[in-house]
C-alpha cells in the first residue's frame, strides 16, 4: 500500500495498534482477507459477493471491529481517538475493496470531522489550530489526500476542514527532498480540487471566465502557483534532490505526473464548450503518458517476480491515464493510455483501474459515434461532459453525457453499461 512513497503510518501506527487494540486487529484482518481475494482473482471490478469465502470472512471481521469500537465508545481512554481514526482509515480501504463507495466516503467524512472537532477544541483552549500528536499528523496527511481524491467521487470537500488544514502554497523556500515536494504539491492539488468543485456547480455552457470573474481570478492565481512550483522543482532536481533508491525516483515521477495533469485541468477549467482547447496540450499529454508508463514499469523492475501491486492507498497513474482518454485529441495517445490502464488491474485509493478503463472505452466509442454522425472527420468532439454512476448492486453503470450540435441546445443523454463480472 506504500508503493509510491515511504510512510510511517503503517509501521509506526497501524501495525502496532493491531497488536494491542481488538478493533484495529479485526479491521486489519478484514483488509488483509479482501486484499488476498483481490490478488487471487486478478483484481476484478470491486463487487461484493457473499458467496465468496474470503469476502464473507472479511465482512465478519469488519463487523467485529465495529462492535469492539462500540464497546469503547464512551470510555475515557486517551488512545480511543487514535483507534477511532485508524479504524476510519481502514474502513475506507475495506469498503472501497467491497465496491461500497458511499460507506467508504462516509467513513472518510467522519474521520475528517473527528480531527476537525479536536482542532477546533484546541483552538479555543490555546488559540492555535494544531494536531495533538504525531499520530494525528500522519493520519491527517493520509486522510487529506483521500479527501482530495473523494471530490472526483461525489463527496464535496469539507469547507471548515479545508479552511483549517489547507494552507495556500506560498512558494519561496527551496524544495530539498521528495517528501518536501510532495507536501508542497499536496496543497496545490487540494486547492485545485476545491476550484473544480466550485466550477462544476454550473452547467458546461456557463463554465467560462467572463461569467465568473471571481473563479477566473482564483484560476489565474492557481495557475501561477502551479507554474512556480514547476520551476522550483526543476531547480531542486538539478541542485538539491538526490535519489538513493528506485522508490524515491518513482515518487518523484509521480509528483511530476500529478503536477502536469492538474496543470492541464486547472488551465482548461473555464473553457466552457470549447473542447478544441485540448489540441494545444498534446505535449503535456505525451509527457503524462511517458511518466505513467515509466511508473508502471518501475514496479515490474522492482519485483523479483515482475508483478505489480494490486492495492495502493495513494492516487497514482489511473487519473492521469483517464484524463488522456477523456480529453486528449490525439487518437493514438488515447488508445495507448487505454491499453496501459487495462494491462495493470489495480486500485489506487478510491480509483479502480477496471472501472475507469470501462469508462474510458465508452467515452472513446461515444466520440467515434458522434464524429461518424456528423459526417465531418475534422469536427471537434461535441460531447461536453461525462459522468458514471454505478448501481448499488454493482451490476451495471449509467454513463451520462451531454452533446450539442451547432446552433442547437445541449442535449443530456445516458446509456446503461453492463459490468461484466469477468472484466
| Helix pair angle (282-302, 246-267), 10° resolution | 160
Nearest to 108 by CA among 128, 85, 131: 85
Tell me if 92 sits within 8 A of 146, measured CB to CB: yes
Output the pLDDT for position 155.
Answer: 67
Backbone angles phi, psi at 352, to 5 degrees: -110, 115
Q: How far apart are CA 12 and CA 332, in angstroms?
A: 45
Nearest alpha-carbon partner for 334 in 324, 343, 344:
324
Dist. CA 196–CA 207, nearest whole Å = 11
Q: Is 44 in contact with 421 (CB distance < 8 Å)?
A: yes
User: β-strands 351-352, 347-348: how paired?
Assistant: antiparallel
User: Quick count: other Cβ atoms within 10 Å of Cβ 337?
Assistant: 28
Give the number of other CB atoms < 10 A from CB of residue 137: 15
Q: Give the Cα separation of 410 and 284 in Å (integer).
A: 29
What pLDDT, on the 0 to 100 scale, is given for residue 166?
Answer: 43
Q: Where are the domains of the chain?
A: 166-273
Question: Which of 252, 268, 259 is CA-nearest to residue 216?
Answer: 268
- Which one, of 366, 419, 367, lies nearest residue 393 by Cα? 419
Spatial neighbors of 376 by CB under 8 A, at least 6 apart, are: none
Q: Which residues of the chain have pLDDT under 50?
A: 159-167, 422-423
**Residue 9: all three cell numbers together:** 503510518
Report pLDDT for 337: 98
Q: Which residues does 116 contact at the CB level (< 8 Å), separation at least 6?
A: 158, 160, 161, 164
pLDDT for the residue numbered 164: 36
Q: Are strands 311-312 and 347-348 parallel, antiparallel or unpaired?
A: parallel
Amino acid at each position: 500500500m506504500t508503493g509510491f512513497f515511504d510512510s510511517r503510518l503503517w509501521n509506526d501506527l497501524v501495525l502496532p495498534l493491531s497488536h494491542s487494540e481488538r478493533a484495529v486487529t479485526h479491521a486489519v484482518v478484514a483488509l488483509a482477507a479482501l486484499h488476498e481475494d483481490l490478488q487471487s482473482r486478478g483484481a476484478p471490478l470491486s463487487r461484493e459477493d457473499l458467496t465468496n469465502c474470503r469476502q464473507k470472512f472479511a465482512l465478519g471481521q469488519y463487523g467485529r471491529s465495529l462492535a469492539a469500537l462500540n464497546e469503547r465508545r464512551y470510555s475515557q481512554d486517551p488512545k480511543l481517538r487514535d483507534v477511532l481514526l485508524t479504524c476510519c482509515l481502514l474502513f475506507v480501504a475495506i469498503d472501497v475493496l467491497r465496491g461500497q463507495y458511499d460507506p467508504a466516503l462516509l467513513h472518510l467524512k467522519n474521520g475528517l470531522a473527528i480531527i476537525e472537532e479536536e482542532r477546533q477544541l484546541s483552538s479555543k483552549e490555546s488559540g492555535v489550530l494544531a494536531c495533538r500528536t504525531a499520530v494525528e499528523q500522519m493520519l491527517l496527511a493520509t486522510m487529506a489526500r483521500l479527501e482530495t481524491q473523494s471530490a472526483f467521487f461525489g463527496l464535496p470537500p469539507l469547507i471548515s476542514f479545508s479552511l483549517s488544514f489547507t494552507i495556500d502554497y506560498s512558494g519561496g523556500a527551496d524544495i530539498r527532498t521528495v517528501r518536501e515536494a510532495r507536501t508542497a504539491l499536496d496543497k496545490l492539488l487540494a486547492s485545485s480540487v476545491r476550484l473544480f468543485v466550485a466550477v462544476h456547480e454550473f452547467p458546461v455552457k456557463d463554465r467560462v471566465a467572463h461569467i465568473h470573474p471571481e473563479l477566473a481570478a482564483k484560476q489565474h492565481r492557481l495557475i501561477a502557483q502551479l507554474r512556480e512550483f514547476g520551476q522550483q522543482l526543476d531547480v531542486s532536481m538539478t541542485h538539491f534532490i538526490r535519489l538513493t533508491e528506485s522508490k524515491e525516483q518513482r515518487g518523484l515521477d509521480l509528483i511530476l505526473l500529478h503536477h502536469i495533469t492538474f496543470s492541464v485541468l486547472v488551465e482548461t477549467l473555464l473553457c466552457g464548450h470549447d473542447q478544441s482547447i485540448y489540441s494545444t496540450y498534446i505535449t503535456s499529454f505525451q509527457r503524462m503518458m511517458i511518466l505513467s508508463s515509466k511508473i508502471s514499469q518501475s514496479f515490474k523492475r522492482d519485483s523479483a517476480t515482475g508483478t505489480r501491486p494490486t492495492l495502493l492507498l495513494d492516487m497514482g497513474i489511473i487519473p492521469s491515464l483517464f484524463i488522456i482518454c477523456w480529453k486528449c485529441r490525439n487518437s493514438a495517445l488515447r488508445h495507448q493510455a487505454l491499453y496501459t490502464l487495462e494491462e495493470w488491474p489495480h486500485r489506487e485509493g478510491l480509483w479502480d483501474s477496471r472501472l475507469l478503463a470501462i469508462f474510458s472505452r465508452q467515452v472513446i466509442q461515444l466520440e467515434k459515434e458522434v464524429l461518424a454522425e456528423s459526417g465531418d472527420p475534422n469536427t471537434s468532439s461535441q460531447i461536453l461532459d461525462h459522468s458514471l454512476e454505478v448501481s448499488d448492486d454493482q451490476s451495471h453503470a449509467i454513463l451520462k453525457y451531454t452533446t450539442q450540435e451547432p446552433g442547437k441546445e445541449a442535449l443530456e443523454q445516458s446509456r446503461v453499461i453492463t459490468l461484466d463480472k469477468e472484466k
